[in-house]
Amino acid sequence: TDFSFDNYRSHHETEEHWELRRMFMEKNHLNLPEDELVCLAQVFLNIELLHCRYPPETMRRVAELSEGIGKEYRARRANMLQRTFVSASDAAASKVQRRAPSFATNDIKQHTAPNRDPSRNESLSMDEIFGKIVIVNNCIIQTTNEFNRLRCGVSMTDTCTELQTRDHEAVVMVGKLVLGKAVHANKKTARQQAVKQALEYLGKRCYTLTRKKLPTQMSAANVVQKKDSEDAASKVAEEPKLDTKNIGFKLMQKLGWKGGGLGVKDDGIVDPITAQIKIGRKGLGNQEKADEGGLDTKFIKTVLRNFKNSHMEYDLVFSVDFSKEDREVIHRIAKSFALRTKSFGNDNQGTRQLVVLANRLSPLEIIDKVLLFGDPTYCEMYEVVSPNLSEVK
């Protein structure tokens, strides 16, 4: 059957990254099913470029399938010439003096960042940099944080300094390129103007990612109902607490117990004493906020453990039926599993819900989910706007 590699190229993927992924697919497309091939090619790219780690068996298999490709790529990268950044002023001066700059102005390159990891010997063109920048929720802070988290050797900054004239100068930059700049007597106004310029500049060259719905608003949300916990607790209550195989049962039989309640009149407790989780610092005898809902912590632990081990890409939502005390318990259990939580809604209106956040995807990965794979959940959750390259002069 015909296999078209180009169908699997992302819209924002650079030539260099696509070449590496394509080399992997070309080498193994005769030995692997198509869907597995595409998945492992992406895993190989993540390992090679982002230094991601996977289970040992996955790492070994990818290493076998990519034998020779990674070494060739790293050798080629090591021999690349270091490119330099040419500012607009230098390019203009070169034109006036009739001398050619090192690089054309439409192919500007970036200086090596002083805080770059010395083990990564790579230079990015501005087109490659813009391919990695995603405007997140039209917010320069989120955009800056997400881009800098990629650690691609170039950083984005958003600064505001006071001049000798007492005016404030706000500047938004990526590397040495100024995206937006404004001077104003008011610090807040200066920053707003600079940010507006930067977002307009980036909007013509980069993808924009906007969240349309919260996790609690999703039609296909993975929701845990309070009834699920109560049903689990009732099933445990219905199970026999002691049987003839139990060591405690045998010891009590030797003391004359024949079943039923404890005591001479058989009017004592029937079930063994169970441990109860306690929230807050009040004394053990204080029953002011005792949990009347019968939250089954064992059930919650099982749900959260399965959620963590499944590496889900979708958030886990707990319904509004869980009380504030229930949410505190769930939050503490989630924290013990190293899971992040966030609450949405209002307690007074009865809409407060706890959400356990799934594995975090980068904006570039989310764009792939929407544009490349058409994932219905991410398409419902996010809106992606392509760059308006026609407006770039």
The answer on 164 and 224 residing in a single domain is: no
Is 55 among the domain residues?
A: yes
Q: In sequence order, what are the beta bridge partners of 170?
A: 160, 182
Q: What is the pLDDT of residues 331-385, one digit of tens each?
A: 999 999 899 999 988 888 888 999 998 888 899 999 988 888 888 888 999 999 9
Does 156 have pLDDT greater than 60? yes
Predicted local confidence at residue 113, as pLDDT: 39
Residue 218 token pair: 């999703």
Is 24 among the domain residues?
A: yes
The answer on 135 and 67 residing in a single domain is: no
Identify the band that residue 252 occupies on the pLDDT scale cut at 50, 70 and 90: confident
Q: What is the pLDDT of residues 180-210, one digit of tens each?
A: 999 999 999 999 999 999 999 999 999 999 9
Q: Which residues contact 315 (CB under 8 A, 6 or more apart)?
A: 215, 221, 222, 355, 356, 357, 358
Is 245 among the domain residues?
A: no
Predicted local confidence at residue 311, as pLDDT: 76
The answer on 222 and 365 residing in a single domain is: yes
The answer on 132 and 194 residing in a single domain is: yes
**Mean pLDDT within 38-54:** 80
Cα angle: 56, vertex 153, 113; to 5 degrees: 145
Predicted local confidence at residue 196, as pLDDT: 95
The segment with the largest mean pLDDT, out of 33-42, 153-162, 266-275, is 153-162
Predicted local confidence at residue 223, as pLDDT: 87
The answer on 200 and 143 residing in a single domain is: yes
Domain with 184 in it: what CATH number? 3.30.160
The answer on 223 and 175 residing in a single domain is: no
The answer on 323 and 177 residing in a single domain is: no
Predicted local confidence at residue 139, as pLDDT: 94
Predicted local confidence at residue 290, as pLDDT: 38
The answer on 307 and 226 residing in a single domain is: yes
Domain with 340 in it: what CATH number? 3.30.1370.50
Better-predicted residue by pLDDT, 95 or 132: 132
- Which strand (E) or helix (H) includes residue 161? strand 156-162
Domain closes at, from 40, 68, 89: 89
Identify the band that residue 101 occupies on the pLDDT scale cut at 50, 70 and 90: very low
Residue with tokens 């939250």: 295
Predicted local confidence at residue 228, as pLDDT: 74
Range of the domain at 163: 126-206
The answer on 15 and 132 residing in a single domain is: no
Domain closes at, from 73, 89, 105: 89
Total domains, the chain: 3
Is 194 among the domain residues?
A: yes
Does 10 have pLDDT greater than 90? no
Is 121 among the domain residues?
A: no
